[in-house]
Structure 1
């Protein structure tokens, strides 16, 4: 009996536990169902981009496909005088571009369109240009696409598998949940408004080191300007960014080998974080507040020295730190290639066709840029010298365009010089060979010795030349005035002497000009032309009879024409 009661009690307990488990499972199912339902309701419609969908950059049309929350957008953004295509932050007032497609292609006009074609191609159409593929390496045909709330733009095949995603091809930025794998690089943009490839890069090297370089340089230490100093940590080290702003590096086993920024910031939906290599060559970690103001803050940067990026001031320019801001200055005798664009570098403002003039005198002077450091590409070294001897060595060498002098060591250089910056702790002096003509027109801020007498000589020559030119112009004006007066005088003398006396030698009678006009009816009927005039038909009353006469009128007023006319009259009178 006791056994039966215990068995029954055990059976009842089992039934109670089983019923409780069913209730718990049912409750969990209901919670999951309602959570899924609420999540589905929260999703905006048409978050999936279907075949046949298209975008245009005009404000009246649909210019971007947004993520479900509207935080990110994929589509057109303003670029120069047209538009580019990429992923950008659409949920904050500052529309920051985080990924760019075909970034070095020219901007497209407002008539362009972005199309997910019915045959599974994502292309940019801009007639009369050829179609440009946005997704070029998808292994299969595209069946659909989506802009995710993570900032990742993805495309799917017909089985709804991801076959391509923008996170695999970063351009300037790393977003939350994204990583930069070994061998991958980020490239800066030209500027905040021009997303074309700039002049700096950040590379996750296969040796585990994260390094910054100028573009088009070897991956070697002399060209780097920032490093994580994690070389030797393995082949599969990656750079990662978490939702709380934690920026760190993991090796292939998932072990954290270095924290660049420890994070621990707001990881709610009110703030997002992104890492970006900026156009000035520094990569920074930003936070964006997802509120009405959309404030952006820098919470970490690779360096605070804005002159650290090599090549910031272009060729023949060097960077000077002024109140923690980068200021670019050209070498003596040089001027900016593009005013306002310091990365374009500097060019000579004098001619350098020949090292020496015809009489063998050197046409250059040496000017200095002190406490500046440069890439050393010397072709000849002069040891155990003074600065004056280094000046002279470059001054007398036609192949020498510059020289570096530091602690008794003189190295001759050829232009252009690059990666220049001022470093007050470094005693290096850049000695630049400058044409003497350039020193007349510009202040010698970097010269360390007074100007010699050549400038005064050339100023005197310039004054004499201008005086001779002015005198020649004055002579030409006076000569022209005399010639004009002479011609006017001859014309007046001839026109006022109407009674030309020919009757003293020949028979013809002289007439006044008014009588000739009357007899030819104001020179109406032309009957021929002579050497110096035109012959007209006329009538005249002589001795009560009307006579038909020929009247010749001179066309040109000249002494020769007058003499010829008189000779002609004498000959006619003798017939």
Structure 2
């Protein structure tokens, strides 16, 4: 926002001026208190604003924080066209500031604000409008703005916590990647409804307050006048928001004046999925659930995963059995799928979870048993509260081998592989014998079809919680299939209203032959037990003769294709990032977290639906297994949809979950660029999205991908690199969906991806 230059001393920095890390490394404010320029970080130098007038040289702002490190031979230059850039020896440029307007000079002000001026001495860009993790006196956090913690004390890249000034008047802290929802918040100013133009402010006396433009609506600190004292507020690495003061004496130290909490386990997301926070002797640490271990060793925010095999709901193998491990005094996000009735003791709750194959854990709180599925989030241990117990279901035959010598562990694995091989052969032989006997029996009794009696239908409903509809019910609900919502290879979807409870539903009428009735029944059980906020929920089914119908929850905003490729409904950059995370979480659940691993085989925008809050949900995830093999074939003889199918389909290679990773990569590029993967209306260089994106990435011309839209360039670069890794031709080179999600969250570093060998890469 352009504002008049403040009436204070500053040293003028003219266009054409430059800095290097080794000589003339910074531009000082007139008092010498603040400096803009290079400061030392691990393995190089970063550009930022720091307090040069004190021994610690505390950094308060970092440029390009998600990729800040530069070598010693780089030059920081205020160009003649008004850009602030880093210029490498080979001529490569990294843009720090591009104000898109004329710039006549720059200045490092005495209040810690670095500004660019036009010829009329009007500020055209300022660091105060683009905070990183710190706010200084005179700086404010306006509506919709956020600051983010750093990864560590020595790494200024975006960390895992954020503070947001919301339009509803609340100042709220969330984990990075979590939606702006109450259950994700861990600090709030409780100023909801006090105005829609509130900002967070700090003055020179340490007065920290919320202001609505005319009056103060909340004082976070009263402030205290002190001479020769500086103040700053920061969201620290641990997720806690603190106000600090420091005397300008050289012997002074930073002192905490105020904090959003004193409990270091309060920040949600400090410990990742399936882990919980504990404080011992004042030191915070994370621990995994019993018989779980870290996904990424040494990285607690990556979360924990099982060290044991978890059988499916329909496993009757006597060798697969479970027990309960207890965690006392622990609390988690309460996302229970069922309350267990008639349980008054912890032992009752344990038995209820053991008897329910959908139950991964149970929270026994104040005599109430809440059954949960994994993952568990936001875990922490409470002090002196014995009314909360977490009951974790684990295998009695754990594959946990920590502490076992490597050779012994390898021998154990070999023995288990041999056992599994023998068991597998035995099961195949037994299945073949049963099929042969069944075939003889069926043909001897001249049975041509397989039907389910009413009693069998009731059993099926009990097994999966799905409702069996009659065809007449669905004809009435859809008003004789009047309103068509969409049409695909597997069938047509109609809008319906259930007569009894007036719930709006989507009814898919399958138009091609399904696998046999036994297979349909089996897959209904699998799909009916899947539940995730990023999957479209299957509510029921109908099968009468040749009529096959599935009833889903209704998604009011259509498909991602409807939203993404329509200029009038195109989501903003932040929403596109959120949608990408939604889709990644849904695919990860299908691949790793639901009872039976599901490969979707047809991830594309048309199969991603949007609810009333534009939350993305994956649909048709069960049809890959329900439909006959020719159902999703294209004319090239591959399953899926042209443009989204992985190369292994074309090469007749085994298809794994990495085929979905490839399709996700294509969809991610479509989300980033808001265009279809193949558009023959464009030039030959741009018609194939994947190849065009890689060439733009290699040429460092990512701005071409988003046109004139203002996006965070570091996030754009990260998203593009993730997508290119996902669309590698070799499946083994593609990341797992778990790692994709960690990269999207900013938890994992992303190496430079190679050009897929099937591309016509021009660079």
**TM band (smaller chain):** 0.5 to 0.7
Q: Which secondary structure does the structure 2 equivalent of 1:52 belong to?
A: coil
- 1:458-497 Cα offsets, whole Å, 9 max, x none, are 99x97xx8xxxxxxxxxxxxxxxxxxxxxxxxxxxxxxxx
> Structure 1 residues 411, 115: closer, same or farther in 2, change over 3 A?
same
- 1:496-526 Cα offsets, whole Å, 9 max, x none, are xxxxxxxxxxxxxxxxxxxxxxxxxxxxxxx
Paired with 1:400 and 1:315, the residues of 2 have a C-alpha distance of: 17
Q: 1:52 aligns with which of 8, 11, 16?
A: 16
- 1:374-430 Cα offsets, whole Å, 9 max, x none, are 112233332222433332333344443222222343333222211001124362222
Structure 1 residue aligned with 2:95? 133
TM-score scaled by length of structure 1: 0.64
Structure 1 residue aligned with 2:144? 183
- Contact 1:355–1:362 (8 Å) recurs in 2: no
TM-score scaled by length of structure 2: 0.49
Deviates more, 1:93-102 or 1:149-158: 93-102
- Contact 2:245–2:256 (8 Å) recurs in 1: yes
> Structure 1 residues 125, 413: closer, same or farther in 2, change over 3 A?
farther
Deviates more, 1:147-156 or 1:402-411: 402-411
| Deviation (angstroms), 1:160 | 2.0
- Unpaired segments of 5 or more residues in structure 2? 1-6, 416-763
Structure 1 residue aligned with 2:389? 429
Structure 1 residue aligned with 2:30? 68
Structure 1 residue aligned with 2:365? 406
> Structure 1 residues 161, 125: closer, same or farther in 2, change over 3 A?
same
Q: 1:111 aligns with which of 64, 67, 73?
A: 73
Q: Which secondary structure does the structure 2 equivalent of 1:134 belong to?
A: strand
Matches within 5 A, 1:222-261: 222-253=183-214, 255-261=215-221
- Contact 1:139–1:163 (8 Å) recurs in 2: no
Q: Which secondary structure does the structure 2 equivalent of 1:391 belong to?
A: helix
| Deviation (angstroms), 1:71 | 1.4
Matches within 5 A, 1:502-521: none
| Deviation (angstroms), 1:292 | 1.9
Structure 2 residue aligned with 1:265? 225
Q: Which secondary structure does the structure 2 equivalent of 1:120 belong to?
A: coil
Structure 2 residue aligned with 1:417? 376
Paired with 1:349 and 1:113, the residues of 2 have a C-alpha distance of: 50
| Deviation (angstroms), 1:437 | 4.7
Larger strand proportion of the pair: 1
Paired with 1:376 and 1:128, the residues of 2 have a C-alpha distance of: 54
| Deviation (angstroms), 1:338 | 4.5
| Deviation (angstroms), 1:221 | 2.0
Paired with 1:350 and 1:127, the residues of 2 have a C-alpha distance of: 52
> Structure 1 residues 93, 404: closer, same or farther in 2, change over 3 A?
same
Q: Which secondary structure does the structure 2 equivalent of 1:332 belong to?
A: coil
Structure 1 residue aligned with 2:112? 151
Paired with 1:233 and 1:358, the residues of 2 have a C-alpha distance of: 58
Q: CA RMSD in A?
A: 2.9
- 1:181-235 Cα offsets, whole Å, 9 max, x none, are 1221111111111111111111112222211111222323222111111111111
Q: Which has the larger radius of gyration?
A: 1
- 1:110-133 Cα offsets, whole Å, 9 max, x none, are 222211112321112236684222
> Structure 1 residues 252, 330: closer, same or farther in 2, change over 3 A?
same
Matches within 5 A, 1:280-319: 280-319=238-277
- Contact 2:209–2:218 (8 Å) recurs in 1: yes
> Structure 1 residues 194, 431: closer, same or farther in 2, change over 3 A?
same
Q: 1:194 aligns with which of 133, 155, 160?
A: 155
Structure 2 residue aligned with 1:505? none
Paired with 1:260 and 1:220, the residues of 2 have a C-alpha distance of: 23
> Structure 1 residues 147, 400: closer, same or farther in 2, change over 3 A?
same
Matches within 5 A, 1:337-486: 337-352=295-310, 359-385=317-343, 386-423=345-382, 424-425=384-385, 427-438=387-398
Structure 1 residue aligned with 2:542? none
Paired with 1:364 and 1:164, the residues of 2 have a C-alpha distance of: 61
- Contact 2:309–2:399 (8 Å) recurs in 1: no
Q: 1:208 aligns with which of 169, 172, 177?
A: 169
Q: Which secondary structure does the structure 2 equivalent of 1:312 belong to?
A: coil
Structure 2 residue aligned with 1:79? 41
- 1:84-124 Cα offsets, whole Å, 9 max, x none, are 22212222122222112221125222222211112321112
Matches within 5 A, 1:7-46: none
Structure 2 residue aligned with 1:174? 135
- 1:547-574 Cα offsets, whole Å, 9 max, x none, are xxxxxxxxxxxxxxxxxxxxxxxxxxxx
> Structure 1 residues 167, 144: closer, same or farther in 2, change over 3 A?
same
Paired with 1:359 and 1:206, the residues of 2 have a C-alpha distance of: 55
- Unpaired segments of 5 or more residues in structure 1? 1-35, 444-457, 466-575
Paired with 2:283 and 2:166, the residues of 1 have a C-alpha distance of: 30
| Deviation (angstroms), 1:358 | 8.3
Paired with 1:353 and 1:118, the residues of 2 have a C-alpha distance of: 66
- Contact 2:308–2:398 (8 Å) recurs in 1: yes
- Contact 1:372–1:421 (8 Å) recurs in 2: yes
> Structure 1 residues 380, 78: closer, same or farther in 2, change over 3 A?
farther
- Contact 1:121–1:141 (8 Å) recurs in 2: no
| Deviation (angstroms), 1:174 | 1.0
- 1:27-80 Cα offsets, whole Å, 9 max, x none, are xxxxxxxxx9xx98xx8xxx22111112222xx322222211221111222334
Q: Which secondary structure does the structure 1 equivalent of 2:349 belong to?
A: helix
- Contact 2:320–2:396 (8 Å) recurs in 1: no
| Deviation (angstroms), 1:352 | 4.1
Structure 2 residue aligned with 1:165? 126
Paired with 1:225 and 1:246, the residues of 2 have a C-alpha distance of: 23
Paired with 1:185 and 1:130, the residues of 2 have a C-alpha distance of: 30
Paired with 1:364 and 1:282, the residues of 2 have a C-alpha distance of: 39
Q: Which secondary structure does the structure 2 equivalent of 1:307 belong to?
A: coil
- Contact 1:235–1:252 (8 Å) recurs in 2: no
Matches within 5 A, 1:542-557: none
Q: Which secondary structure does the structure 2 equivalent of 1:243 belong to?
A: coil
Count of residue pairs brought into register by the alignment: 401
